[in-house]
Chain A
């Protein structure tokens, strides 16, 4: 099975074939290796590659795909052609910007209303978490077409807060 992996933003090729007893025949960017994988408990993998022992922990974050390889925190994504097309479509819509929460927290204040014109870098709303307030600013000049949250709402990191066109 051939896989395209984006690891820390760089595309990588993996060719993987199961062999016996948790062993796998792999080609990593064309280089053949033999890996032995053992799942210790959910999300925790012991990996032996050419005698080197690696502890790999799947982060389990709801939206990011992250592996902890030893002490390193690695963002990765499995690519397939379909999802690439979808992302291109989602990224489309010139001039329309989605303002997303940069951290989980509670909406403290809205500084604009739906329909208001905004300038680039104008403060739009304030989110608070753990005694720290974070002001979100409009990335561009335009008009606020949608506001998706109200003061007091709890938001997750990456949630859509407002749409500016």
Chain B
């Protein structure tokens, strides 16, 4: 049976939403993504916003919107009490947490449960069982899932760390049990470095997560990051929706994600997928989730962690499976069974996603908040852009720098790369810096094109000098048009002293240029 498209149509129509009103406890592109899904399912959407986000797109597009508090996230988007208060006032039936913020906070999920509001995600018990990396490793053992050699409990002392390191062999990784985003993580290559690394990892974890619990595992050399998307309903059914490869990373943050992976074949996909499903079922997991693995050079896979929420990179899975994950999250949350079984799912084509950030790759990746003065967005065949920005929007300095996700879909990986490069050339973000140029560089790199990537790939690429396309001694192509454009803009200024930006923002400059021309006044 092959039903790569229109799987959601297997649900009976007409559709009668039990969850008629949903609050979205998030901001940015993901809040807008969920507002759109609600609109498509005929569900009322409720946005929340901080002082910095009154003019944000998710507020504009939602059916209702309520103010939370000041700009810092700890005073607004992380305030579970304020969000539940809005939920009661607005009379919502469910809360979608998006990703980040409160999405993996089991206390918040439990508070929703107690308040009689459906949390669109797993039950708080499953989040607790899988949320800490050490308890997730224990669950992996119980589910018979391969994991990296090492301990499944927090380390009590540097001596214990030393014993575990000796038993698995160097090099090793120290990791925070409550960790994420690379914080509280240290690679250790020699026994004499272990004690100091243990102390810094533990104190960093304490500062970042409020828990200094650290565990140790064998370091996998040149690993690929491969993750499995799962969906589980409340009736004991669970399926995997193929893998995503997220090996292009900087500082443990994903930069480019794609599906499927160029190195995962049918057999490996089935083995990883079945292991992921076993883990989810054993923990009583429901809704969408992602099990992350490392894949070594011999294509052995090791359980890394589980993300108990919707992922940033979920669109690449949607494109190759034809499934709308947010629609399904909502339908699972209101108690419906999955509308398909594993054998109904078939992967088709290839999808690649770029995380477009307000940061400057040419200046040590400095953040670049501020006003977007100019915005030309790409379109055309096979291009999807999930964004929360518009021309004139001031990107706040208070949150992470993601502006949008640009995703290309095509029958093959090669064509998807070509589409993405084409779309990147169409894309202009003016007024602030962005990492669009970095994606052009990666997508043209022979190593990336050959899919010879691992989690250290991007650091190696960035260590090489970055030459512009035409620095071989010949005149760069852009010089003539840049000169012509600058000259045209300059002579078109209506009056001395006016800025060029001001001049071109008024159509009258062209009239005044024409007037000067007619009277022979140009000099």
Binding site for B on A (CB under 8 A): 1, 3, 5, 7-8, 12, 14, 16-20, 22, 24, 26, 28-29, 33, 35, 37, 39, 42-45, 47, 49, 52, 54, 56-62, 65-74, 76, 78, 102-106, 128-132, 134, 154, 156-157
Q: Complex Cα distance A64/B149, Å? A: 53
B487 touches A49 (CB 8 A): no
Q: With both chains docked as a complex, state the minimum distance between the C-beta of A33 and any C-beta of chain B, in angstroms.
A: 7
**Can you offer 25 A-B residue contacts whose CB atoms are under 8 A?**
A1-B522, A12-B479, A12-B483, A14-B483, A28-B479, A29-B483, A33-B480, A35-B484, A35-B488, A43-B374, A43-B430, A47-B485, A56-B485, A61-B430, A61-B431, A62-B371, A65-B500, A67-B482, A72-B476, A72-B478, A76-B482, A78-B490, A103-B367, A104-B367, A129-B369
Judged by a CB distance under 8 angstroms, whether B397 is at the interface is: yes
Which of A58, A76, A132 makes the CB contact (< 8 A) with B374?
A58
- Flag B402-445 by CB within 8 Å of A: 1 or 0 each: 00000000000000000000001100101110001100100000
Closest A residue to B395 by CB, please name it. A130
Judged by a CB distance under 8 angstroms, whether B195 is at the interface is: no
Closest B residue to A77 by CB, please name it. B486
Q: Complex Cα distance A31/B370, Å? A: 39
Judged by a CB distance under 8 angstroms, whether B481 is at the interface is: yes
- The residues in B between 319 and 376 inclusive whose CB is less than 8 angstroms from any CB of A are 358-360, 363, 366-371, 373-374, 376
Judged by a CB distance under 8 angstroms, whether B491 is at the interface is: yes
Q: With both chains docked as a complex, state the minimum distance between the C-beta of B206 and any C-beta of chain A, in angstroms.
A: 18
A70 touches B478 (CB 8 A): yes
Known: A17-B522, A28-B484, A103-B366. A58 touches B430 (CB 8 A): yes
Q: Complex Cα distance A5/B485, Å? A: 11
Known: A16-B491, A103-B366, A104-B369. A60 touches B430 (CB 8 A): yes
Closest B residue to A45 by CB, please name it. B485
Contacts of B516 in A (CB 8 A): 18
Contacts of A132 in B (CB 8 A): 366-367
The dominant DSSP class at the A interface is strand
Q: With both chains docked as a complex, state the minimum distance between the C-beta of A88 and any C-beta of chain B, in angstroms.
A: 21
Contacts of B400 in A (CB 8 A): 130-131
Q: With both chains docked as a complex, state the minimum distance between the C-beta of A67 and any C-beta of chain B, in angstroms.
A: 6
Contacts of B510 in A (CB 8 A): 22, 39
B487 touches A47 (CB 8 A): no
- 8 A-B pairs closest in CB distance: A60-B373, A130-B367, A56-B485, A59-B430, A54-B481, A129-B397, A103-B366, A129-B367
A-B contact sample (17 more), CB < 8 A, given A16-B487, A60-B374 = A1-B491, A1-B523, A5-B487, A7-B479, A12-B479, A18-B513, A28-B483, A42-B507, A43-B501, A52-B481, A58-B504, A68-B430, A104-B368, A105-B369, A130-B397, A131-B399, A132-B366
Q: With both chains docked as a complex, state the minimum distance between the C-beta of B312 and any C-beta of chain A, in angstroms.
A: 15
Which of B371, B480, B488, B505 makes the CB contact (< 8 A) with A24?
B488
Q: Complex Cα distance A17/B485, Å? A: 13
Closest A residue to B469 by CB, please name it. A72
A26 touches B484 (CB 8 A): yes
Known: A33-B480, A39-B510, A43-B373. A67 touches B485 (CB 8 A): yes
A42 touches B425 (CB 8 A): no
B501 touches A60 (CB 8 A): yes
B370 touches A69 (CB 8 A): no
Which of A37, A39, A134, A154 makes the CB contact (< 8 A) with B484?
A37
Q: With both chains docked as a complex, state the minimum distance between the C-beta of A109 and any C-beta of chain B, in angstroms.
A: 16
A69 touches B482 (CB 8 A): yes
Closest B residue to A6 by CB, please name it. B486
Contacts of B476 in A (CB 8 A): 8, 72
A49 touches B484 (CB 8 A): yes
Q: Complex Cα distance A142/B488, Å? A: 46
- Flag B497-509 by CB within 8 Å of A: 1 or 0 each: 0001100111101
Contacts of B397 in A (CB 8 A): 104-106, 128-130, 154
A49 touches B481 (CB 8 A): yes
Contacts of A67 in B (CB 8 A): 482, 485-486
Contacts of A42 in B (CB 8 A): 504-507
Interface centre among B401, B476, B486, B514 (most CB of A within 10 A): B486
Contacts of B129 in A (CB 8 A): none
B481 touches A61 (CB 8 A): no
Contacts of A72 in B (CB 8 A): 468, 476, 478
Q: Complex Cα distance A120/B378, Å? A: 46
Judged by a CB distance under 8 angstroms, whether B517 is at the interface is: yes
Judged by a CB distance under 8 angstroms, whether B489 is at the interface is: yes
Interface centre among B428, B485, B490, B509 (most CB of A within 10 A): B485
Q: Complex Cα distance A37/B485, Å? A: 8
- Flag B204-220 by CB within 8 Å of A: 1 or 0 each: 00000000000000000
Q: Complex Cα distance A78/B376, Å? A: 25
Closest A residue to B402 by CB, please name it. A130
- The residues in B between 364 and 398 inclusive whose CB is less than 8 angstroms from any CB of A are 366-371, 373-374, 376, 397-398
Interface centre among A7, A33, A65, A71 (most CB of B within 10 A): A71
Known: A18-B516, A33-B480, A60-B431. A44 touches B401 (CB 8 A): no
